[in-house]
Amino acid sequence: MNSQSQASIPEHVCVIMDGNGRWAKKRLMPRAYGHRKGVETTRLAVEYFARVGVRHLTLFAFSSENWNRPAEEVSSLMELFMESLRQYTPELHEQQIRIRFIGERSSFSTDLQQQISHAEAETGANKSMVLNIAANYGGQWDIVNACRTIAQQVQQGNLDPARIDDQAFAAQLSLAGTPDPDLFIRTGGERRISNFLLWQLAYTEFYFCDTLWPDFSETEMADALAEYSRRQRRYGKTGEQIEVPG
Ligand code: IPE
Ligand code: IPE
Ligand code: MG
Protein backbone atom coordinates (compact mmCIF):
# COMPACT_ATOMS: atom_id res chain seq x y z
CA MET A 1 0.00 0.00 0.00
CA ASN A 2 1.39 3.46 -0.78
CA SER A 3 0.97 6.67 1.22
CA GLN A 4 -2.16 7.59 -0.71
CA SER A 5 -5.03 8.49 1.62
CA GLN A 6 -8.16 6.47 0.96
CA ALA A 7 -10.29 9.58 0.40
CA SER A 8 -8.32 10.64 -2.66
CA ILE A 9 -8.38 7.27 -4.39
CA PRO A 10 -10.36 7.60 -7.62
CA GLU A 11 -13.38 5.33 -7.81
CA HIS A 12 -12.94 4.78 -11.55
CA VAL A 13 -9.65 4.90 -13.46
CA CYS A 14 -9.44 4.50 -17.23
CA VAL A 15 -6.23 3.92 -19.14
CA ILE A 16 -5.02 4.18 -22.72
CA MET A 17 -2.17 1.70 -22.61
CA ASP A 18 -0.05 3.15 -25.41
CA GLY A 19 3.54 2.68 -26.53
CA ASN A 20 4.00 -1.07 -26.96
CA GLY A 21 5.11 -0.80 -30.59
CA ARG A 22 7.70 1.91 -29.94
CA TRP A 23 9.00 0.01 -26.92
CA ALA A 24 9.68 -3.02 -29.14
CA LYS A 25 11.09 -0.93 -31.97
CA LYS A 26 13.65 0.65 -29.63
CA ARG A 27 14.86 -2.90 -28.96
CA LEU A 28 14.83 -3.82 -32.66
CA MET A 29 12.11 -6.34 -31.94
CA PRO A 30 8.79 -6.94 -33.71
CA ARG A 31 5.80 -4.94 -32.44
CA ALA A 32 4.16 -8.16 -31.19
CA TYR A 33 6.99 -8.47 -28.65
CA GLY A 34 6.00 -5.09 -27.25
CA HIS A 35 2.36 -6.18 -26.97
CA ARG A 36 3.45 -9.28 -25.04
CA LYS A 37 5.46 -7.19 -22.65
CA GLY A 38 2.48 -4.83 -22.42
CA VAL A 39 0.29 -7.64 -21.12
CA GLU A 40 2.68 -8.05 -18.18
CA THR A 41 2.26 -4.36 -17.33
CA THR A 42 -1.50 -4.76 -17.65
CA ARG A 43 -1.43 -7.56 -15.15
CA LEU A 44 0.59 -5.41 -12.71
CA ALA A 45 -1.73 -2.45 -13.22
CA VAL A 46 -4.87 -4.49 -12.52
CA GLU A 47 -3.31 -5.91 -9.38
CA TYR A 48 -2.08 -2.47 -8.24
CA PHE A 49 -5.31 -0.53 -8.80
CA ALA A 50 -7.37 -3.28 -7.14
CA ARG A 51 -4.98 -3.27 -4.17
CA VAL A 52 -5.21 0.49 -3.58
CA GLY A 53 -9.01 0.40 -3.67
CA VAL A 54 -10.03 1.52 -7.16
CA ARG A 55 -13.52 0.06 -7.80
CA HIS A 56 -13.68 0.30 -11.59
CA LEU A 57 -10.77 0.04 -14.00
CA THR A 58 -11.38 0.51 -17.73
CA LEU A 59 -8.55 -0.41 -20.08
CA PHE A 60 -8.36 0.41 -23.78
CA ALA A 61 -7.10 -2.82 -25.34
CA PHE A 62 -8.10 -2.43 -28.98
CA SER A 63 -9.79 0.50 -30.66
CA SER A 64 -12.24 0.28 -33.55
CA GLU A 65 -9.54 2.03 -35.60
CA ASN A 66 -6.87 -0.56 -34.74
CA TRP A 67 -8.27 -2.88 -37.46
CA ASN A 68 -6.47 -0.55 -39.86
CA ARG A 69 -3.09 -1.89 -38.71
CA PRO A 70 -1.21 -4.44 -40.82
CA ALA A 71 -3.08 -7.77 -40.88
CA GLU A 72 -0.16 -9.52 -39.21
CA GLU A 73 -0.24 -7.20 -36.21
CA VAL A 74 -4.03 -7.49 -35.90
CA SER A 75 -3.88 -11.29 -35.89
CA SER A 76 -1.05 -11.37 -33.37
CA LEU A 77 -3.09 -9.08 -31.12
CA MET A 78 -6.14 -11.37 -31.43
CA GLU A 79 -4.02 -14.37 -30.50
CA LEU A 80 -2.61 -12.51 -27.55
CA PHE A 81 -6.12 -11.58 -26.32
CA MET A 82 -7.16 -15.20 -26.51
CA GLU A 83 -4.09 -16.45 -24.72
CA SER A 84 -4.14 -13.75 -22.03
CA LEU A 85 -7.81 -14.28 -21.28
CA ARG A 86 -7.28 -18.00 -20.94
CA GLN A 87 -4.24 -17.51 -18.76
CA TYR A 88 -5.44 -14.70 -16.49
CA THR A 89 -9.16 -15.28 -16.02
CA PRO A 90 -8.63 -17.81 -13.18
CA GLU A 91 -6.17 -15.46 -11.44
CA LEU A 92 -8.55 -12.49 -11.73
CA HIS A 93 -11.40 -14.65 -10.50
CA GLU A 94 -9.34 -15.60 -7.48
CA GLN A 95 -8.77 -11.91 -6.75
CA GLN A 96 -12.55 -11.42 -6.85
CA ILE A 97 -12.28 -9.20 -9.93
CA ARG A 98 -15.21 -9.02 -12.30
CA ILE A 99 -14.31 -8.92 -16.00
CA ARG A 100 -16.53 -7.08 -18.47
CA PHE A 101 -15.98 -6.27 -22.12
CA ILE A 102 -17.19 -3.15 -23.85
CA GLY A 103 -17.10 -2.76 -27.62
CA GLU A 104 -18.46 -4.44 -30.74
CA ARG A 105 -17.61 -8.07 -30.09
CA SER A 106 -19.35 -9.57 -33.12
CA SER A 107 -16.28 -8.75 -35.26
CA PHE A 108 -14.16 -11.15 -33.22
CA SER A 109 -13.73 -14.84 -34.05
CA THR A 110 -16.29 -17.21 -32.53
CA ASP A 111 -13.58 -18.65 -30.29
CA LEU A 112 -12.65 -15.26 -28.91
CA GLN A 113 -16.31 -14.33 -28.40
CA GLN A 114 -16.80 -17.55 -26.45
CA GLN A 115 -13.71 -16.87 -24.35
CA ILE A 116 -15.03 -13.38 -23.60
CA SER A 117 -18.47 -14.70 -22.58
CA HIS A 118 -16.84 -17.35 -20.44
CA ALA A 119 -14.65 -14.79 -18.61
CA GLU A 120 -17.66 -12.54 -18.01
CA ALA A 121 -19.86 -15.39 -16.78
CA GLU A 122 -17.23 -16.93 -14.55
CA THR A 123 -16.37 -13.65 -12.81
CA GLY A 124 -19.84 -12.05 -13.00
CA ALA A 125 -20.58 -12.19 -9.27
CA ASN A 126 -17.18 -10.91 -8.10
CA LYS A 127 -17.20 -7.85 -5.91
CA SER A 128 -13.69 -6.48 -5.41
CA MET A 129 -13.19 -4.47 -8.61
CA VAL A 130 -14.78 -4.34 -12.05
CA LEU A 131 -12.29 -4.60 -14.89
CA ASN A 132 -13.79 -3.23 -18.09
CA ILE A 133 -11.82 -4.18 -21.16
CA ALA A 134 -12.53 -1.95 -24.14
CA ALA A 135 -11.99 -4.13 -27.19
CA ASN A 136 -13.09 -3.07 -30.65
CA TYR A 137 -14.39 -0.05 -28.80
CA GLY A 138 -14.89 3.49 -30.07
CA GLY A 139 -16.44 6.37 -28.17
CA GLN A 140 -18.33 7.49 -31.28
CA TRP A 141 -19.63 3.95 -31.85
CA ASP A 142 -20.90 3.92 -28.24
CA ILE A 143 -22.74 7.25 -28.67
CA VAL A 144 -24.24 6.29 -32.03
CA ASN A 145 -25.48 2.98 -30.56
CA ALA A 146 -27.12 4.81 -27.67
CA CYS A 147 -28.83 7.16 -30.16
CA ARG A 148 -30.12 4.22 -32.17
CA THR A 149 -31.59 2.53 -29.09
CA ILE A 150 -33.25 5.76 -27.97
CA ALA A 151 -34.63 6.39 -31.46
CA GLN A 152 -36.13 2.88 -31.51
CA GLN A 153 -37.75 3.44 -28.12
CA VAL A 154 -39.30 6.66 -29.39
CA GLN A 155 -40.44 5.00 -32.61
CA GLN A 156 -42.11 2.18 -30.69
CA GLY A 157 -43.92 4.71 -28.55
CA ASN A 158 -42.08 3.70 -25.37
CA LEU A 159 -40.23 6.96 -24.82
CA ASP A 160 -41.37 10.56 -24.97
CA PRO A 161 -38.60 12.66 -26.62
CA ALA A 162 -39.18 15.31 -23.95
CA ARG A 163 -37.87 12.80 -21.38
CA ILE A 164 -34.51 12.33 -23.08
CA ASP A 165 -31.93 13.92 -20.79
CA ASP A 166 -28.28 13.24 -19.97
CA GLN A 167 -29.19 10.45 -17.55
CA ALA A 168 -31.52 8.70 -19.99
CA PHE A 169 -28.82 8.95 -22.63
CA ALA A 170 -26.01 7.64 -20.41
CA ALA A 171 -28.22 4.68 -19.48
CA GLN A 172 -27.85 3.42 -23.06
CA LEU A 173 -24.05 3.64 -23.20
CA SER A 174 -21.91 0.58 -22.72
CA LEU A 175 -20.72 1.70 -19.27
CA ALA A 176 -24.27 2.37 -18.03
CA GLY A 177 -24.46 2.07 -14.27
CA THR A 178 -20.73 2.72 -13.83
CA PRO A 179 -19.69 6.13 -12.43
CA ASP A 180 -17.80 8.24 -14.99
CA PRO A 181 -14.01 7.91 -14.80
CA ASP A 182 -12.39 10.14 -12.18
CA LEU A 183 -8.92 9.69 -13.62
CA PHE A 184 -7.78 9.10 -17.19
CA ILE A 185 -4.20 7.94 -17.75
CA ARG A 186 -2.48 7.77 -21.12
CA THR A 187 1.06 6.46 -21.40
CA GLY A 188 3.25 6.69 -24.49
CA GLY A 189 3.50 10.45 -24.90
CA GLU A 190 0.48 11.28 -27.09
CA ARG A 191 -1.92 13.91 -25.77
CA ARG A 192 -5.16 12.72 -27.29
CA ILE A 193 -8.27 10.64 -26.55
CA SER A 194 -8.13 8.46 -29.71
CA ASN A 195 -11.89 7.84 -29.67
CA PHE A 196 -11.86 6.29 -26.16
CA LEU A 197 -14.74 7.13 -23.78
CA LEU A 198 -16.02 10.43 -25.19
CA TRP A 199 -19.24 11.08 -23.29
CA GLN A 200 -17.92 9.66 -20.01
CA LEU A 201 -14.78 11.83 -19.90
CA ALA A 202 -16.74 15.10 -19.56
CA TYR A 203 -15.32 15.86 -16.09
CA THR A 204 -12.48 13.36 -15.82
CA GLU A 205 -9.01 14.45 -14.66
CA PHE A 206 -6.40 13.80 -17.38
CA TYR A 207 -2.92 12.46 -16.70
CA PHE A 208 -0.49 12.04 -19.58
CA CYS A 209 2.99 10.62 -19.33
CA ASP A 210 5.74 9.83 -21.80
CA THR A 211 6.62 6.41 -20.38
CA LEU A 212 5.88 3.63 -22.86
CA TRP A 213 3.29 1.16 -21.53
CA PRO A 214 5.68 -1.80 -21.05
CA ASP A 215 7.83 0.44 -18.81
CA PHE A 216 4.94 1.87 -16.79
CA SER A 217 5.78 0.86 -13.23
CA GLU A 218 3.97 0.73 -9.92
CA THR A 219 5.86 3.88 -8.87
CA GLU A 220 4.46 5.70 -11.88
CA MET A 221 0.95 4.41 -11.18
CA ALA A 222 1.34 5.84 -7.67
CA ASP A 223 2.57 9.14 -9.20
CA ALA A 224 -0.60 9.34 -11.28
CA LEU A 225 -2.73 8.82 -8.16
CA ALA A 226 -0.68 11.39 -6.23
CA GLU A 227 -1.18 13.93 -9.02
CA TYR A 228 -4.92 13.15 -9.04
CA SER A 229 -5.14 13.76 -5.29
CA ARG A 230 -3.74 17.28 -5.82
CA ARG A 231 -6.40 18.23 -8.37
CA GLN A 232 -9.39 20.32 -7.36
CA ARG A 233 -12.53 19.12 -9.11
CA ARG A 234 -14.83 22.09 -9.47
CA TYR A 235 -17.61 20.94 -11.83
CA GLY A 236 -18.28 24.54 -12.81
CA LYS A 237 -18.22 25.94 -9.28
CA THR A 238 -15.59 28.29 -7.87
CA GLY A 239 -12.60 27.08 -5.91
CA GLU A 240 -13.97 28.79 -2.78
CA GLN A 241 -17.21 26.84 -3.01
CA ILE A 242 -15.27 23.59 -3.09
CA GLU A 243 -13.07 24.51 -0.11
CA VAL A 244 -16.07 25.51 2.04
CA PRO A 245 -18.87 23.22 0.86
CA GLY A 246 -22.39 24.66 0.70
C1 IPE B 1 -0.91 0.28 -27.73
O2 IPE B 1 0.39 0.33 -28.18
C3 IPE B 1 -1.53 -1.08 -27.88
C4 IPE B 1 -2.58 -1.16 -28.93
C5 IPE B 1 -3.02 -0.19 -29.68
C6 IPE B 1 -3.18 -2.46 -29.10
P7 IPE B 1 0.73 0.69 -29.69
O8 IPE B 1 0.73 -0.55 -30.48
O9 IPE B 1 -0.18 1.75 -30.19
O10 IPE B 1 2.20 1.24 -29.56
P11 IPE B 1 2.83 2.48 -30.32
O12 IPE B 1 1.95 3.67 -30.08
O13 IPE B 1 2.88 2.11 -31.77
O14 IPE B 1 4.17 2.64 -29.71
C1 IPE C 1 -5.23 3.89 -28.69
O2 IPE C 1 -3.90 3.81 -29.08
C3 IPE C 1 -5.83 2.53 -28.61
C4 IPE C 1 -5.27 1.62 -27.61
C5 IPE C 1 -4.33 1.85 -26.75
C6 IPE C 1 -5.85 0.33 -27.61
P7 IPE C 1 -3.43 4.05 -30.59
O8 IPE C 1 -1.97 3.92 -30.58
O9 IPE C 1 -4.19 3.18 -31.51
O10 IPE C 1 -3.87 5.57 -30.83
P11 IPE C 1 -3.47 6.57 -32.00
O12 IPE C 1 -3.83 5.92 -33.29
O13 IPE C 1 -2.00 6.83 -31.91
O14 IPE C 1 -4.25 7.82 -31.72
MG1 MG D 1 -0.06 3.77 -30.18
Collect all residues with Cβ–Cβ distance below 8 Å to 26 and sequence separation of at least 6: 212
In whole angstroms, what is the distance from residue 202 CA to residue 191 CA? 16
Q: Which of 2, 20, 66, 132 is catalytic?
A: 66
DSSP class of residue 204? P
Minimum-distance ligand 2 atom for the alpha carbon of 65? 9
Q: Is 18 in the pocket of ligand 1 (CB under 6 A)?
A: yes
Query: Residues with beta carbon inside 6 Å of ligand 2?
Result: 16-18, 60-63, 66, 190, 192, 194
Q: Exposed, middle or buried, 237 (CB in 10 Å: 0-12/13-18/19+)?
A: exposed
pLDDT in tens, the chain (246 residues): 444 556 699 999 999 999 999 999 999 999 999 999 999 999 999 999 999 999 999 999 999 999 999 999 999 999 999 999 999 999 999 999 999 999 999 999 999 999 999 999 999 999 999 999 999 999 999 999 999 999 999 999 999 999 999 999 999 999 999 999 999 999 999 999 999 999 999 999 999 999 999 999 999 999 999 999 999 999 999 999 999 765
Which residue, 232, 226, 221, is CA-closest to 41?
Answer: 221
Known catalytic residue at 158 = no
Q: For atom 12 of ligand 1, which residue has the closest CA?
A: 19
Q: Give CA–CA dist 35/148, Å, rounded.
A: 35
Q: Which ligand is nearest to the CA of 194?
A: 2
Cα separations in angstroms, 235 against 197, 204, 238: 18, 10, 9
Spell out which residues have Cβ within 5 A of ligand 3, the ion: 18
Domain ranges within the chain, ordered by starting residue: 9-138+179-229
Q: Which residues pair with 16 in a beta bridge?
A: 60, 186
Which ligand 2 atom is at minimum distance from the Cα of 134? 6
Instruction: Give the nearest ligand 1 atom to 62 CA.
Output: 6
Q: How far is the CA of 241 from the centre of ligand 3 (A)?
A: 40
Q: What would be the CATH architecture of the domain defined by 9-138+179-229?
A: 3-Layer(aba) Sandwich (3.40)
197 — phi, psi (to 5°)?
-60, 110
Distance from the alpha carbon of residue 86 to the mean position of ligand 3, in angstroms: 25
Active site residue 66: yes
In whole angstroms, what separates CA 114 from the centre of its chain? 21
pTM of the model: 0.96
Task: Give the side-chain half-sphere CA count within 13 A for 179.
Answer: 13
